A and B are shown apart, each in its own frame.
Chain A
Amino acid sequence: MAAHDIDLSYVPTWCAGCGDYGIFMALKKALTSLNLDLEQTVLATGIGCASKIAQYINTYRIETLHGRSLPVATGIKLANHNLTVIAEGGDGDGMGLGMGHFIHTARRNLDITYFIHNNQIYGLTKGQSSPTSDLGAITKFTPAPLGNVEHPVNIVKMALNAGASFVARGFVGNSTQLVALMAEAIKHPGFAVIDILQPCVSFNHTNTYQWYQQRVKPIEAMEGYDSTNLEKALSFAALWGDEIPIGLYYRTIRPTYHESLPQISHQSLVQQPLDNIDITGLMKELY
């Protein structure tokens, strides 16, 4: 019997007004709308405010180390590719320590969905600049007057260049669109990334709800939109300022990593029997 009881009794500890609440609600709605069997669903998160989402949602979950959700998710997917595997974490976790894993998971096209809560700040460590912090951002590690002097990572652009086969940007203030994007991303066979814009009400007083509200614009209404065209997607991805496109940037279908492995074409690794494995042939090779 498929299980659909998604709620747990634990009370989230995010700050009042945190964007994580909205993403949490959207994820639950997306999972429910897909009618997924939650016993067959695994959520792998990193460490940080965003990653705490694993504590509150009733799937199988693994709260990994800071920055390491994607390699753990990779191991899970390769061990049992019948599972729905979702990785999730913040911009610091994913674009800082996790950046190398992000690039490689994308180019491998593992069938994993990756939700990045992007508030352009480190929240749980109380307000340091993140790889996505805007130029000039004043944070604990980039104090005034200079502020942040590093060019920020544009997650959408990075995902497109690295070869992610589904790339979207959502905004927690647009819940209807976010739920739909999340559901599409989970359904997508391949590495699906959503850069989810959210404010940090405690430590980022620049990129607030209002700041985003004034800038986000549904991408599908923009001139020249074509989600099958990588070049167009990249040109929309270059927009970050007065206009920030949200929606599906790009989607393509190419073989996923596990589909390339003949040894798991009939059964997943976890289904394979362990008893009485005959190693005579391996020994004979060494005569």
Chain B
Amino acid sequence: MNKGYYTCLFGGEAGYGVMSAGSIIAKGANRSGLWSFVVNEYPSLIQGGLNSCLVRISDKPLSSYEETIDFLGLFSQQAFDCYADKLSPGAIVLYDPGTIKLDESKVPAGISLYPVSLASHIPKGGAKIMINSAMLGGFCALTGYPKNTLRDVINSEFHSEKVRQENIAIFEEVYTLVLASLSIKKDFPLKFQLDAAPKILINGNEAISIAAIKAGCKFSAGYPMTPGSSVLTYLADHGPEYGLVFKQAEDEIAAINMLIGASFTGVRSIGSTSGGGFSLMVEALGFAALAEVPLVIVNAQRGGPSTGLPTRTAQADLNFVVHASQGEFPRIVLAPGDIEECFYETFRVFNLVDKYQVPCIILTDKFLADSSVSHPLFDTDKLTIQRGKLFEATETNEQPYLRYQNTPDGISVRAIPGQVGGRHIATSYTHGEDGFYSSGNKEYALHEPQVVVDSMDKLYNKLPSMEKDIPGIKLHGSPDAALTIIAWGSTKGAILEAMDLAASQGLSANFLQVLYIAPFPTTAIELVLQKANKTLLIEGNKTAQLGGILRANTGYKTDYSFLKYNSRSFMPSEILGKIKEVLS
């Protein structure tokens, strides 16, 4: 325990309820006025391997985590081997000596080992996963985490009464046994409140899914791909009560084309995938752009290239999504940095894609998509639906309707099938104002070069108002700091915490967060850079992709860069180290 944080980690083979043990502890804290941050790491398999669930608890809001473990709950030998060197001074290790033999020479000094025969408490024929209830009982006794709080959470986790009772019995039994073995009763270092205001424990994919429902999204289609598919799972599960249809597609090509069909018909639509699935969607992304069909696609990045690292994090798809598909067209690329932005910016982009009739990619990653964070309930009072220029049928339309009419802002009135007087052709061909294209057509061919220029200019005439409308950047911290950190996406939380740590050591850094990578907020960034002293680029990739985009758009080259591409997310301590190095 240091500086107001308590960190527990459970590790073991898949199938022992490692994730649910962590989640139960996080929920208990979350319901009791504390704040939790839950990071799951798991390989791409169903049984075996090493799963870990880290839960960081604090009495103040959390935006990140550290692997400084105060309590280590072991379900396998491998978990000890992997995490022994991450134990904090005074840490507690709980394990079952029947299955795990600890080499005490590898245990750092000052660490308390508690061998408890956890498995022996599972009733004959009981599921092995129940060992996590035994683990939680021991956890409460050894750490002083309020037992009744945890029991309440366990109670609410099980749907079957029999399973519930069995787990509670194991939990209580081990708690009592371990407590009795202690000479001094422990106090948990953080204070639990019984009547705390409710908070939610939510991950990025859940925040995006709920925002989509709030935004009136009624259609989703997709194909499973970690870590993007939990958006689809959420919508398949919760969507129907909100009138939403989720359609599992035969592949991601079908998925995005279904989304285009639904959106062309006037229904707000969302897809979600990871880099490989997004690769398959790329041709249709350009189709949506040229046909001016609004579209929202989530790409939750994982390690690449190719199948890459299905269950690990990366920020290496940025260049790809910014440039994906042949030809040139405006698009929106949103890179939310935290739960707050996953929710509110997803809601915003549904309005933006309708207003500008463009596709949007929400670029997250495994770390943001999958990590659960305590968050106050979302305030939805100010959220309003704006659908942009929609065709309204009148009896007295004098002019024939032109779907792609040239307008000063590049945005044409959009009719949807079924509307009287709005019949038109939407098309993947370069087209004139009426949507017509045929290079062999005599009248058309004569004007083709001009039609092509007009159609391309029309798309790009949207950009000035898009740039004004979209909050492309956020500047965190003092404008005249000694160091400006430049980053995007899920690195936000670790950077903010590192800035606080730096400030407490007399080092001043601010943070230029690029929230929307496309359209690139050049003007806003240049204003910040004019006042910047030293600059440090932080990205989860090998080739400094945002750095390249920044340089292409502004000519600016950052002074330093900190790139991490080992398939794990950034931690504040690493960033603090870099800040110190740069400012020394």
Chain A interface residues (CB < 8 Å from chain B):
1, 3, 10-11, 13, 38-40, 42, 44, 47, 52, 54-55, 58-65, 68, 71-80, 82-83, 100-101, 103-104, 261-264, 269-270, 272-275, 277, 279-280, 282-284, 286-287
Contact = CB atoms under 8 A, between A and B. Distances in A.
A141 B318 CA distance: 38
B240 interface: yes
A63 B424 contact: no
A74 B247 contact: yes
Contact of A40 (B238, B418, B441): B418
Given A78-B261, A263-B240, 20 more contacts: A10-B438, A39-B423, A40-B417, A55-B425, A60-B423, A62-B291, A62-B427, A68-B253, A74-B258, A75-B221, A76-B262, A79-B218, A79-B219, A83-B417, A101-B254, A263-B241, A270-B266, A272-B243, A280-B377, A287-B201
Contact of B265 (A11, A65, A75, A277): A75
Contact of A71 (B199, B202, B261, B266): B261
A287 B23 CA distance: 12
Contacts of A262: 240
Given A55-B437, A75-B258, A269-B262, A62 B418 contact: no
A80 B420 contact: no
Interface residues of B, number: 75
Contact of A78 (B30, B31, B245, B268): B245
Contacts of A73: 261
B385 A65 contact: no
A272 B437 contact: no
A106 B345 CA distance: 38
Interface string B40-74: 00000000000000000000000000000000000
Contact of B206 (A10, A261, A275, A286): A286
Nearest to B445: A13
B392 interface: no
Interface in B260-308: 260-269, 283-284, 287, 291
B268 A72 contact: no
Nearest to A40: B418
Nearest to B234: A282
Contact of A68 (B27, B257, B417, B422): B257
Contact of B417 (A13, A42, A71, A275): A42
A83 B201 contact: no
- Closest 3 pairs between A and B when the two form their complex, measured CB to CB: A75-B261, A274-B216, A71-B257
A42 B423 CA distance: 9
12 contacts: A39-B420, A64-B428, A65-B287, A65-B428, A71-B254, A72-B258, A75-B265, A75-B269, A79-B266, A104-B254, A279-B210, A287-B31
Contacts of B202: 286
A283 B377 contact: yes
B154 to A, nearest CB: 15
A79 B267 contact: yes
Contact of A104 (B250, B291, B422, B426): B250
A15 to B, nearest CB: 10
B45 to A, nearest CB: 27
A79 B243 CA distance: 11
Given A63-B427, A286-B200, A76 B378 contact: no
Nearest to A277: B214
B232 interface: no
A63 B430 CA distance: 11
B220 to A, nearest CB: 10
Contacts of B385: 274-275
